[in-house]
Structure 1
Amino acid sequence: MPEEDKGSSTRGIRRARQLCVDQVLGDLCMGDYEQAHFRINECLEGLQDHDEIMALLELKNIVVRLRLKGEDQRRIGPTRKSDALPHGFTLEMLDVVQKVLRCRNHYEVLRVSHHATYSEVKRAYHKLALRLHPDKNRSPGAEQAFRRISEAADCLTDCQKRIEYNISTAVGYCNREEYEDYLGSHEEDQIAASRKPYQAANQRMPQRQSLYQTEQLVIGMVAALIFLFVTMHYIAAPPAYSFTPTRTHSIRRVSQTNQIAYFMSPKSLEKYSEQQLAKLEIEIEEVYISDLKQKCKQERSLRETLLLRARQGNNQKLLQHVSQMPTPACQALLELGKSGHNPLQLENRSPGEPHK
């Protein structure tokens, strides 16, 4: 065989092996270890170069270890025979990457609801960014996952982008790019359809099927318009009450049962009858007390954690600090229980905590 043919053949084999390695890394990012194992076995067939065989076997060993999932805290990698996995990582790092890359839309990526506020989206982004930043997470696919959460946060924190994204996903598309591609291809299909040659009757699309597709498109557009209307109404509608005074909620009121202060706007107050106000106050007290209970649980959990840490480390200074730590939410619940008609029960009282 001529030297040029041998060289081109060698380059072709190396390109094929590199493509195989890239595909295996893609499977690892998605958590498809079975497919990664199958690809490596395929690539090993017919290989004669000792270094390439050892590199693939090393990668195969990592895939097997990942399939066992018994090394959450131990570092996996890096590979020494190849540059496929240049950095070590743990299963916990890879698990975060896989969860993000498997998601179908921005809301799943950030793990927030479709009604999440700006601050909720930001908190979810920062929480994931701490675990996916390239300086923290060195697993395969971490950079791609970090870019994806950044794109999701950029879209969902921009009101206009979020509305457009919601419209595009409402008619069945995963992201804005796919929606624009669909519009472009749909126009091309219409132009091509006007130039189609004559077709026999038995080869034409039945009229009922064509009408069905048109109906589906119309239904999708109507659903998108309804979703847009509801979204705009949700964004524009001010809340009926507030627990803190604001520019719009300036009238202070106190609930009848538990004496909870809240604020309403003059216009909203005019619209409510006495019966409606009584129902509203029931809702206000339920929301207020539920929020206090949640904060009280958090205060108790923090206190118990610090107590355990102080006792394990025999840290008297920390123990003294924890014993004097205030719990304002729990204290507020106790005061409500004393003054209200129905005494409030505090769940999950810490062992040894005195009754006030």
Structure 2
Amino acid sequence: MEGNKDEADRCIKLAENYIKERNREKAEKFLHKAERLYPSQKAQDLLVQIQLMAEKKVETEQPRRRNAAPKVEEPKKAPEYTPEQLEAVKKINKCKDYYEILGVSKDATDSEIKKAYKKLALQFHPDKNKCPGAAEAFKAIGNAVAVLTDVEKRKHYDQFGPEDERLSARSYTNNYREFDADTTDEFFNMFFGGGFNGANVYVRRGGRWQRQNTGSQETHHTHHHREQNNYSAFVQLLPIILAIVLSMASSFFVSDPPYSLQANPKYPIGRSTANLRVPYYVKENFATEFQGSVRRLEMSVEEEYISNLRHACYREKNYRDSMIWKARNFGDRELFQTAQNIKMPACDKLQTLKNYG
């Protein structure tokens, strides 16, 4: 890196000369080159100076242009999406049911669900669909397929419905727990007495809680009113309490998945699928406890493995393309050659599987 310092200084001097000549394009070119060779504060300061000069020039030229000639209105650009696309996006965003989002029945197989997802993903991907709300629709489709292609999550979803409704109930319960005991008179008497069998009623006086006997008619009336408030509060909280109990009870019936694609203490036994020889791992008691179809299980293993490879390959291609674009933008041949030689192991594995299949 130190060996490039002299060349970087030469580029900075050339850039300073071009700045004096008001040749912004060449000045920026040599400053960017100096930054690549040997980053320095001076080069960064000169780039900022060029930017400020350009902005100031635009500000001074705009009034002249307005006075010189009337501004011609540019024709309005046609929207980059069709009414049909906009209607489809609105329909997806209104859906709450995962099966309805993907357009499949509740008896659909994994293959049918994934086939529907591929079709919708291409239709609603933000790069291809410029409608307002397309990103949200694409995310909803991804959430739907993530739940319905997981055996345990799908079972849980079929039993209890959308995840967001249960989460909202839990959030409300957590907020309730944060209430202080002395926030209101009703909550205080709910937890600390409140007239059960002639017990004392606690009231707030002068910033302190004081015990008041129920002998007087006024106190008795106040206590009766608070009992009604306590009962009303309990009735309002009852659906939330039931939701919590059902959620906790359901957790006891959710079993572990039958396999894992990574080895861990819970899944130590290695196996491989009969078709594509994809490695996967099961529990030690798999041979005696698993009662399902091994063929169907291995189909799920291969589908999940290939899906993971496709996502990884997509990321690898995006990274390589961004590096190639960067090299072309800066005119850097060395960086371009390096980007061309970036390895993509996931894409290679995917191609091998296609050839094997």
TM over 0.5: no
TM-score range, shorter chain: 0.3 to 0.5
Between Structure 1 and Structure 2, whose CA radius of gyration is higher?
Answer: 2
TM-score, normalising length from structure 1?
Answer: 0.40
